């Protein structure tokens, strides 16, 4: 029996961000490997007209939980949704719930965060810094607490090139930032944001760095560890390959490419694509929870969960493999045939944007207008290119993360634990992973039927023919115009095709 799985048996576990991408996979793995755990408390807010219970039912009824429910048929009873809003000062947890959480919790996994790069600084601080501080305060009042695991990001210090498993100080103390957010108005915050974030690319990475400092400063007497994943992608193996349910990281751009909207990208083909499957992140996180609780390391250990140093994949290779997969598994109703021109040259990017993005969008909107429909493609293109510009920072650089603690932890695991909680990224075959990732996007995110693949292939063939026809027509028009205006062009033409009467 796995030592780690046995450790979680009988435990009361508190998870924040359990309705998110990582949180769901974490819960699933816990139920599947430790079905005898006591309870999982999840801090949830109502959303999109759904109550807490409806949200939980929807998650448990998803395909992700099918295997877990076979192993642990009473998951519904073992999950307890607690109303909470981490944006609120008191986290909006009722007194009764708070008492139960404080007296029962053994392990905390703090996953909740805003992962939006362009979030307003006030909101990002509230969620990624202040809420972390409040949870640590809560944790300090939990008599049965064995470990507090904070999920950060490998990019929290992306202003550095080489990043060690240490907490780097921020120029301004988190407490000062938290205080100032309480009295500064939005306009002033907007004005000072670029100065505060300095050489960080966005408010997300900046506030995640502040969050780590808060953990270091305020988690002093607790048994705390930090896990820093890089770009979290679809599942590699568990509970099945390719599961993904949101557009973050590469997923959104893979869809935009597969649907033929995005055909070129300002990206450095030889930059490392530090994607890490979500099940690897979850396995490491659970191993860290066990190790922190059982070994009680003297200081806060940080664990990098990255792929680049052990098994690197590059954006160029990833783009190529994504395209190769579209040949076999195309997405339905593509706007144009998928293509992936990655270039690090700004001028070339602008050229491709004009030719491959704006021109087709404008032509298509013209066609929609002509046929009495509402134009929408230029608007969509505008949003897509804005999104791409936000991600460009991460696809034009490479980072080196040291992984000493992660490797140390791997060496402490029994062979059985290494199998059940496998986080050895060296075993990952990128070509296979990317293919399953694309397939997973098609099935679980786009919810497209596999039976539609022949029709999707037909559609791409039609698009190719339209493309050839369009290019031929364009060439003929250009040539005709040239012939009409240039004696040299006429001479060349008559040289190639002399008139019959000569
Ligand atoms: C042709 C070439 C093809 C090549 C072939 C393909 C090869 C693959 C190449 C792959 C390269 C991968 C690069 C990954 C780099 C990730 C680095 C992460 C590093 C840090 C990791 C972390 O530690 S952190 C987790 C990551 N954190 C995010 O990844 C949040 C992103 N997100 C936002 O920061 C906001 O979303 C943002 C976008 C500001 C808009 O913000 P905004 O306010 O303008 O508008 P919205 O948020 O409302 O989004 C407006 C519409 O963009 C949709 N959308 C949202 N995200 C999207 C997304 N990633 N790709 C597409 N579409 C996305 C959304 O679904 C809306 O669509 P709709 O309106 O139709 O629903
Ligand atoms: N995805 C990635 O590529 C990476 C993620 N990470 C880190 O992993 C962690 C999880 O990320 P991921 O699962 O991808 O993110 P998601 O955006 O999928 O999930 C975020 C979670 O936080 C919850 N949350 C947000 N705001 C509140 C609030 N006010 N009150 C209560 N809960 C709230 C969300 O709840 P709700 O469903 O109600 O919105 C959701 O459960 C984060 O800490 C992130 O920084 C690190 C590296 C990469």
pLDDT digits (tens, 9 = 90+) for 244-279: 999 999 999 999 999 999 999 999 999 999 999 999
Residue nearest to atom 6 of ligand 2 (CA): 153
Match 């907490």 to its residue by tokens.
Answer: 167
Mutate-to-test residue for ligand 1 from 152, 153, 229, 247, highest number of ligand atoms within 8 A of CB: 247
- Determine the structural domain holding residue 73 and report its residue range: 12-28+38-44+46-83
Strand-pair category, 147-151 with 107-110: parallel
Region at 491 (left for phi over 0; alpha for psi -120 to 50; beta for the rest) = alpha
For residues 83 and 44, is the Cβ–Cβ distance under 8 A?
yes
| pLDDT bucket at 488, cuts 50 / 70 / 90 | confident
Nearest to 155 by CA among 274, 272, 74: 274
pTM: 0.94
Output the CA angle 250-195-198, nearest 5 degrees.
50
Instruction: Determine the atom of ligand 1 nearest the C-alpha atom of 264.
Output: 1
Rounded to the nearest angstrom, the distance between the alpha carbon of 112 and the centre of ligand 2 is 4
CA 82 to CA 52: how far, in whole Å?
Answer: 8
E strand or H helix at 461, and its extent? helix 453-485
| Per-residue confidence (pLDDT) for residue 379, from 0 to 100 | 97
Query: Which residue from 391, 393, 395, 435 has its CB within 8 A of the most atoms of ligand 1, so it is best to mutate?
Result: 391
The CA 229 to ligand 1 mean position distance, Å, reads 17
260 lines ligand 2 (CB under 6 A): no
Express each pLDDT in 33-59 by its tens digit.
999 999 999 999 999 899 999 999 999
CB within 8 Å of 332: residues ≥ 6 apart:
446, 448, 452, 455, 456, 459
Beta bridge partners of 13: 40, 107
What integer pLDDT is reported at residue 289 of this predicted model? 98
Share the mean pLDDT of the chain: 95
- Rounded Cα distance, 368 and 298, in Å: 65
Q: Do 186 and 120 form a contact (C-beta atoms < 8 A)?
A: yes
Coil vs helix vs strand at 42: strand
For residue 10, what are its two tokens?
């009988």
Q: 3-class DSSP state for residue 150?
A: strand
CA distance 45 to 316: 40
pLDDT at residue 434 tops 90: yes
**What is the average pLDDT across 76-85?**
96
Q: Report whether residue 282 contacts ligand 2, using a CB cutoff of 6 Å.
A: no
Count Cα neighbours of 355 within 13 Å in the Cβ-side half-sphere. 10
Of residues 170 and 22, which shows the higher confidence score? Answer: 22
Please report the pLDDT score of residue 494 as a whole number: 85
Q: For residue 228, what is the enclosing H or E element?
A: strand 224-229
Q: At 499, is the pLDDT very low, low, confident or very high (cuts 50, 70, 90)?
A: confident
Q: Is the pLDDT of residue 490 over 90?
A: no
Q: Do the Cβ atoms of 159 and 198 come closer than 8 Å?
A: yes
Decide: 456 and 258 in contact? Cβ < 8 Å.
Answer: no
359-370 vs 377-395: helix axis angle to the nearest 10?
160
Residue 233 maps to a domain: no
**pLDDT above 90 (res 174):** yes
Query: How many CA atoms are closer than 13 Å to the CA of 298, on its beta-carbon side?
Result: 0
Ligand 1: which residue has its CA nearest to atom 44? 387
Instruction: Classify residue 285: in a domain, yes or no.
Output: no
**How confident is residue 76, by pLDDT bands cut at 50, 70 and 90?**
very high
Residue 491 in any domain: the answer is yes
Half-sphere exposure of 83 (CA within 13 A, CB side): 10
Ligand 1 pocket test target in 248, 397, 445 with most atoms within 8 Å of CB: 248
- Which residues have C-beta atoms less than 6 Å from ligand 1? 115-118, 153, 155, 231, 247-250, 252-254, 256-257, 262-265, 318-319, 322, 340, 342, 383, 386-387, 390-391, 394-395
Q: How far is the CA of 153 from the centre of ligand 2 (A)?
A: 11
pLDDT value of position 501:
62
The SS3 assignment for 427 reads helix
As beta bridge partners, residue 265 has 342
Nearest to 120 by CA among 174, 170, 188: 188
Which tens digit of pLDDT belongs to each residue from 280-328? 999 999 999 999 999 999 999 999 999 999 999 999 999 999 999 999 9
Question: Which residue's CA is the closest to the ligand 1 atom numbered 69?
Answer: 383
pLDDT at 502: 56
From start to end of 346-437, where are the E strands?
400-401
Phi, psi of 252 (to 5 degrees): -60, -40
Q: Name the DSSP letter for residue 452.
A: G
Cα(401)–Cα(306) distance, rounded to whole angstroms?
A: 7
Neighbours of 49 (CB within 10 A): 6
Asked if residue 149 has a cis previous peptide bond (ω within 30° of 0), the answer is no
Structurally, how many domains does the chain consist of?
A: 2
Contact status, residue 167 vs residue 300, Cβ threshold 8 Å: yes
Report the DSSP beta bridge partners of residue 343.
266
Contacts from 252-255 at CB under 8 Å and sequence distance 24+? 252/387, 253/387, 253/388, 253/391, 254/322, 254/437, 254/438, 254/441, 255/331, 255/441, 255/445, 255/446
Per-residue pLDDT, averaged over 13-24, amounts to 98
249 Cα to the center of ligand 1, angstroms = 6
In the chain, the percentage of residues whose pLDDT exceeds 70 is 100
Binned at pLDDT 50, 70 and 90, residue 149 comes out as very high
> CA-CA distance, 212 to 168, in Å (whole number)?
9
Q: Which ligand is nearest to the CA of 117?
A: 1
> Looking at residue 41, what is its pLDDT?
98
Look at residue 118 and tell me if it is in a domain.
no
Q: What is the pLDDT of residues 181-204, one digit of tens each?
A: 999 999 999 999 999 999 999 999
pLDDT reported for residue 204:
98
How far apart, in whole angstroms, are the C-alpha atoms of residue 481 and residue 400?
Answer: 55
- State the distance from the centre of ligand 2 to the C-alpha of 42, rounded, in angstroms: 13
Whether 149 is in the pocket of ligand 2, judged by its Cβ within 6 Å, is no
* 201 assigned to some structural domain: no
Q: Which atom of ligand 1 is nearest to the CA of 339?
A: 1
> What pLDDT, in 10s, does the model give residues 445-477?
999 999 999 999 999 999 999 989 988 998 899
The reply to whether 459 falls in a domain is yes
The confidence band for 485, taking pLDDT boundaries of 50, 70 and 90, is confident
Query: Which position has the token pair 């995110």?
Result: 445
Spacing, Cα 161 to ligand 2 middle (Å): 25
State which ligand 1 atom lies nearest to the alpha carbon of 380: 70
């Amino acid at each position: 029996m796995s030592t780690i799985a046995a450790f979680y048996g009988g435990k009361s576990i508190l998870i924040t961000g359990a309705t998110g991408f990582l949180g769901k996979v974490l819960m699933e793995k816990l139920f599947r490997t430790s079905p005898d755990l006591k309870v999982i408390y999840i801090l949830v807010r109502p959303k999109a007209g759904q109550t807490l219970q409806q949200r939980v039912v929807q998650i448990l009824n998803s395909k992700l939980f099918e295997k877990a429910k076979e192993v642990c048929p009473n998951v519904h009873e073992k999950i307890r949704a607690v109303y909470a809003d981490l944006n609120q000062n008191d986290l909006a947890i009722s007194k009764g719930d708070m008492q139960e959480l404080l007296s029962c919790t053994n392990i905390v996994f703090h996953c909740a965060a805003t992962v939006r790069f362009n979030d307003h600084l006030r909101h990002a601080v509230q969620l990624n810094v202040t809420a972390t501080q409040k949870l640590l305060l809560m944790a300090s009042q939990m008599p049965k607490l064995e470990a507090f695991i904070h999920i950060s990001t490998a990019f929290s210090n992306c202003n550095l090139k080489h990043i060690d498993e240490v907490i780097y100080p921020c120029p301004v103390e988190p407490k000062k930032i938290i205080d100032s957010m309480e009295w500064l108005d939005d306009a002033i915050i907007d004005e000072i944001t670029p100065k505060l974030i300095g050489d960080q690319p966005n408010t997300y990475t900046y506030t995640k760095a502040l969050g780590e400092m808060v953990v270091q400063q305020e988690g002093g007497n607790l048994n705390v560890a930090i896990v820093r994943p890089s770009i979290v992608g679809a599942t590699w193996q568990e509970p099945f390959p390719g599961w993904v349910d949101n557009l973050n990281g590469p997923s959104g751009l893979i869809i935009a490419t597969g649907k033929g909207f995005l055909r070129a990208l300002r990206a450095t083909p030889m930059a490392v694509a530090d994607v890490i499957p979500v099940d690897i992140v979850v396995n490491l996180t659970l191993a860290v929870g066990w190790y922190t609780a059982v070994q009680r390391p003297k200081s806060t250990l940080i664990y990098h969960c990255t792929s680049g140093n052990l098994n690197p994949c590059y954006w160029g290779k990833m783009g190529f493999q994504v395209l190769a997969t579209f040949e076999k598994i195309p997405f339905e109703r593509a706007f144009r045939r998928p293509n992936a021109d990655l270039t690090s040259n700004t001028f070339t990017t602008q050229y491709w944007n004009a030719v491959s993005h704006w021109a087709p969008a404008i032509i298509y909107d013209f066609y929609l207008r002509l046929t009495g429909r509402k134009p929408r493609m230029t608007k969509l293109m505008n949003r897509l290119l804005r999104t791409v510009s936000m991600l460009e920072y991460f696809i034009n650089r490479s980072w080196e993360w040291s992984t000493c603690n992660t490797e140390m932890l791997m060496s402490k695991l029994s062979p059985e634990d290494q199998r059940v909680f496998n986080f050895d990224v060296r075993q990952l075959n990128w070509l296979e992973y990317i293919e399953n990732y694309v397939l997973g996007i098609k099935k679980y995110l786009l919810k497209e039927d596999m039976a539609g693949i022949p029709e999707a292939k037909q559609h791409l063939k039609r698009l190719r023919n339209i493309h050839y026809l369009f290019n031929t027509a364009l060439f003929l028009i250009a040539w005709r115009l040239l012939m009409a205006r240039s004696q040299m062009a006429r001479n060349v033409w008559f040289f190639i095709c002399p008139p019959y009467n000569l």
